[in-house]
Amino acid sequence: MDKENIKQAIIVRKDLSLGTGKLAAQVAHASLMSYFQAEKADKDVAREWLDTGEKKIVLKVDDEKSLRKLYEAFKYKGFPCALVMDAGLTQIPPGTVTALGVGPWKAKEIDFFTSALKLL
């Protein structure tokens, strides 16, 4: 696999209006949770990503429905991914879906589903 073609995508909901710290925490949760799924799916891809700078991109969607639709598409295709649901201890109710982590995985395959999304 081409080393420059492995990345991780983090997709967050912009409708929640999370504080900066809360948003950063949700992105971190998505990154770690998704990485662990990628490690289970393909240890070589996960290791390559770690060894080549951990390339990632953070994108946004309008709402929970859009985030869940992406999650289902990635799961259907067998991509390592993880949906983040908040514990509800601070700004939002328990179980609120906040973010989606995808990969690390083949950038071209991730881009197929995310190319229309805007950067956060």
d(CA 12, CA 61): 6
Contacts of 80 (CB under 8 A, 6+ apart): 34, 37, 38, 39, 40, 41, 42, 102, 103, 104, 105
Q: Decide if pLDDT at 85 tops 80.
A: yes
3 state DSSP class of 19:
coil
Q: What does DSSP assign to residue 39?
A: H
pLDDT the model gives residue 89: 85
This model's pTM is above 0.85? yes
Mean pLDDT of the chain: 95
Domain residue ranges of the chain, discontinuous segments joined by + = 3-119
Give the CATH number of domain 3-119; options: 3.50.50.60, 3.40.50.1100, 3.40.1490.10, 1.20.120.1200: 3.40.1490.10
